[in-house]
Amino acid sequence: MRDKILDAAQIRIAAVGYNAVSFRDLAADVGVKSASVHYHFPQKSDLGVALVARYTERFQTALDQIDQTDARTAMVGFCAFYADALIVDQSLCLCAILGAETISLPAELRAKVEGFFDMNVAWLDQFYARHGIKSPAPWDVVASLEGAMIVGTATRKNAVMETTTARILADF
Amino acid sequence: MRDKILDAAQIRIAAVGYNAVSFRDLAADVGVKSASVHYHFPQKSDLGVALVARYTERFQTALDQIDQTDARTAMVGFCAFYADALIVDQSLCLCAILGAETISLPAELRAKVEGFFDMNVAWLDQFYARHGIKSPAPWDVVASLEGAMIVGTATRKNAVMETTTARILADF
DNA sequence: GTCTATAATTTGATAGAC
DNA sequence: GTCTATCAAATTATAGAC
């Protein structure tokens, strides 16, 4: 049940943000009452922290499974994790919207969101080092992909994500 | 008073998003009661629409004042509008956070946010055409700048914005 | 673990006096 | 234009039964 709640939370928060999701919404999604959600996550911030922790962990595991023998193929795989969220799952990266909301988030949650971005850049750093790659800068890659998700969603233009991905891959 | 309310709304919404701002917050900011805010903006969406309209109009006016005799200087100016919001005003571009919240916004407001991005790209399109510039693609430029604001804010690293700006300007 | 019930607060919004 | 007063709904959160 804990995991089912997190599943529901991920879909809802990625769609409308942390501030616009209520325990009652999530309870209804999984077929219980809101008091039961509080049993698993006493405070809303507990839910947010657990969700981002799980999300970061899964993302890290996926990144670590990218075959790095060929640099370009690996980078295509990296970009695809972002593009797929937008185009296949039709939702933003969880941390794109949480990043935008960052100032209004509880401190513990904000720290977790920061950790997600740090993890992505750390992966790119070691990947770049292994292949002697210099550009585009890892922070710029992550920022561009997150921005493309947001602008692409807001304008309902999938082409935005494709254009940005193509530009990043041009260096490879 | 109408303008004072919009000023307060811009600061608050840029910081915490549309969903996390209440009429009572804004009323307190400008020294009136929430009923008075409702006099100027009957519904919350009216306030959001008016705010983005004003924001887009001002941004457009500022862009139109960029001297385009030198392409590089003009592009530096364009990027600076984003960078200044983040570093000088210490706030996100209003439409960065509204873009992230887009799915949960009232339809009229969502359309206005979309219009902001369209306007930015339209300006870049004519600028590119005038100078025979091909890259980076206008949608990629806007997406990258918005993403850099969000990731830079979330990780409290001003360097993110600087890195992305430098990469965009490298083509000029 | 889930429920009912409820407390305490906040929210968007309106009525009507001044 | 602003106020007081208020409503109806939603929110986070808790107490206690089962």
Cβ B30 to strand D below 7 Å: no
Q: What's residue A90's pLDDT? A: 84
Boundaries of domain holding B87? 51-169
Please report residues of A whose CB lies closer than 8 A to that of B159.
139
Across A4-8, average pLDDT? 97
- Name the residue with tokens 């585009």: A136
Q: Tell if B34 CB is < 7 Å from nucleic strand D.
A: yes
Q: Is the pLDDT of residue B160 over 90?
A: yes
CATH number, domain containing residue A131: 1.10.357.10
Domain count, chain A: 1
Q: What is the reported pLDDT for A37?
A: 98
Question: And the tokens for A158?
Answer: 């999938």
Locate all alpha helices (DSSP H) within chain B, ordered by sequence.
2-16, 23-30, 34-40, 44-64, 71-87, 94-100, 107-131, 138-154, 158-169
CA angle B81, B84, B85 (to 5 degrees): 90
Cα angle for residues A88, A94, A96 (degrees, 5° grid):
100
* Mean of all residue pLDDT scores within chain B: 96
Can you tell me the distance from the alpha carbon of A129 to that of B72, in angstroms, rounded to the nearest whole number? 32
Size of interface A-B (CB pairs under 8 A): 158
User: What 3-state class would DSSP assign to A129?
Assistant: helix
- B85 pLDDT exceeds 90? no
What pLDDT digit, counting tens, does each position of B24-78 carry? 999 999 999 999 999 999 999 999 999 999 999 999 999 999 989 999 999 999 9
Residue A4 lies in a domain: no
Q: For residue A7, give every residue at least 6 positions away whose Cβ sits within 8 Å of its Cβ, in sequence order, or none.
A: none
Q: Which of B125, B155, B160, B171 to mutate to test the interface with A (most CBs of A within 10 A)?
A: B155
Q: Is A120 in the B-facing interface, judged by CB distances under 8 Å? A: no
Supply the pLDDT for residue A68. 92
pLDDT at position B7 over 90: yes
Q: Is residue A44 part of a domain?
A: no
Residue A87: inside a domain:
yes
**In a domain? residue B24:** no
B27 within some domain: no
Residues of chain A found within 8 Å of residue B89, distances taken between Cβ atoms: none
Residue B98 lies in a domain: yes
Partners of B117 on chain A (C-beta within 8 Å) are 151, 154-155
Query: In the prediction, which pLDDT does B89 show?
Result: 83
Q: What pLDDT score was predicted for residue A148?
A: 97
CB contact under 8 A, A143 and B144: yes
Residue A23 counted as domain residue: no
User: Does any strand D atom come closer than 7 Å to the Cβ of B35?
Assistant: yes
Answer whether A2's CB lies under 8 Å from B85's CB: no
Residue A84 lies in a domain: yes
Per-residue pLDDT averaged across A40-59, rounded?
97
Output the distance from B127 CA to C9 C1' rounded to whole Å.
52
Compute CA distances B141 → A25, A26, B99, B120, B128, whole Å.
37, 37, 16, 10, 12
With a 7 Å cutoff on the CB, does B40 touch strand D? yes
- Range B73-93 average pLDDT: 90
Return the pLDDT at A86.
Answer: 85
